[in-house]
Amino acid sequence: MNATANALVIEELSAGYGDTQVLWDVSLRVEPGEIVALIGSNGAGKSTLLGAVSGIVNTWSGGVRYGSAVMSGLEPDRVVSAGVVQVPQGRRLFGSLSVEDNLRMGAYLRRDREVDADLEKILAMLPRLRERYDYLAGRLSGGEQQQVAIGRALMARPKMLLIDEMSLGLAPVLVDQLIEILARIHATGVSILIVEQDVQTALEVSSRAYVLETGRVTLSGPSAQLLDDPQVKKAYLGV
C-alpha cells in the first residue's frame, strides 16, 4: 500500500448511456493524499462518473488523467493496474465465494509476491473479516459485506480509492466504524474520492467536496465551507 503520489484529474468530462447524456463537462480533481467528497441527489450521475474513471462507462468527450497517464479510453484492467480502484455501489461481492477468496480476487491482476503480506495487513485493519474468513460473502451482514468490498479493493493495491455509497443502508454506528477504517487507509497514503448519500458525514471526513446536480458540477470548495453553505444545508442537510 505504499502509494506514489499522483493527482486524479477529470477534465470537462461528458458521458452517458446509449444516446442519453448523463454527465456534462464535469471537471474534478483529487490531489495526492486528499480525501474528496462527491455529493448529489439520486440519479445525478455520481456512479456514472466513477464508472467513467474506471473504464466501465464510455467517455464521450473530455478526459481522465492519473498523474501523467491518460485513463480515459483504457480498459478497466489498465485503470486498476495504474492504481485507481473502485469500491462499487451496492458492494457487489462474489456471493458464493468465501470472504478469503473475495479478498484474494482483489489481487487478480497482481504479479508481485506480496499478496499474502497485504492480506495480513488488511485483516489486521479489518479484524471482523478474520472472524468471518471462511464464510460465504453472501451470508454476511451489510456492514461486514461493506468491509469485504473495501478489503477487496485494497488487495488491488490502490493509490487512489473511489468509494461509491459506502454508508448506504447501514446503521450510524457502522458508518462511524467504516469512517474510522477510511481514516486508517488514508493514513497509509491512499487518496480517496468518496461518493455519499450521507452528506453530513462526507463533508466531515473530506477536505474538499463537489456537488453534482443532473450531471453538472454546480458547487465545489472546501468541505467546511460547504457545510455552512445555505444552499447545501437546504438541499442536502435538511436544515
Ligand X SMILES: Nc1ncnc2c1ncn2[C@@H]1O[C@H](COP(=O)(O)OP(=O)(O)OP(=O)(O)O)[C@@H](O)[C@H]1O
Minimum separation from the CB atom of position 114 to other proteins (A): 9
State which of positions 47-76 bind other proteins (CB under 8 A).
54, 56, 75-76
Supply the DSSP symbol for 150: H
Q: Which is nearer to other proteins, 75 or 204 (CB)?
A: 75
Residues 193-232: x/- map of binding to other proteins (CB under 8 A)?
A: ----------------------------------------
Q: Which stretch binds Mg ion (CB under 5 A): 89-97, 115-123, 145-153, 154-162?
A: 89-97
Q: Which stretch binds other proteins (CB under 8 A): 32-40, 63-71, 93-101, 183-191?
A: 93-101
Residue 39's closest CA among 165, 181, 169? 165
Which of ligand X, Mg ion, other proteins, none sits in contact with 151, Cβ below 5 to 8 A by type? none
Residue in this structure with the C-alpha cell 464464510, named with its chain if needed: 135
Q: Using an 8 Å Cβ cutoff, are 194 and 202 in contact?
A: yes
d(C-alpha 194, C-alpha 210), whole Å: 10
Minimum separation from the CB atom of position 74 to ligand X (A): 19
Q: Strand pairing of 20-30 and 84-87?
A: unpaired
Does the protein bind ligand X through residue 68 (CB under 6 A)?
no
Query: Which one of 115, 168, 219, 235 is in contact with other proteins (CB under 8 A)?
Result: 115
Does the protein bind Mg ion through residue 197 (CB under 5 A)?
no
Distances (CA, A) of 87 to 3, 153, 166: 18, 6, 8
Supply the DSSP symbol for 90: T
Does the protein bind ligand X through residue 40 (CB under 6 A)?
yes
Does the protein bind ligand X through residue 55 (CB under 6 A)?
no
Q: Which stretch binds other proteins (CB under 8 A): 33-41, 105-113, 199-207, 229-237?
A: 105-113
Q: Describe the crossing of helices 142-154 and 115-125 by its angle, rounded to 10 degrees.
A: 150
Q: Which is nearer to Mg ion, 118 or 165 (CB)?
A: 165
User: Dihedral sign, CA of 144, 148, 153, 155?
Assistant: positive
Which of other proteins, ligand X, Mg ion, none sits in contact with 152, Cβ below 5 to 8 A by type? other proteins
DSSP letters spanning 164-214 = ESTTTT--HHHHHHHHHHHHHHHHTT-EEEEEES-HHHHHHH-SEEEEEET
Q: Strand pairing of 59-66 and 160-164?
A: unpaired
Would you tell me which residues interact with other proteins (CB under 8 A)? 54, 56, 75-81, 85-86, 88, 92-97, 101, 104-113, 115-116, 119, 152, 156
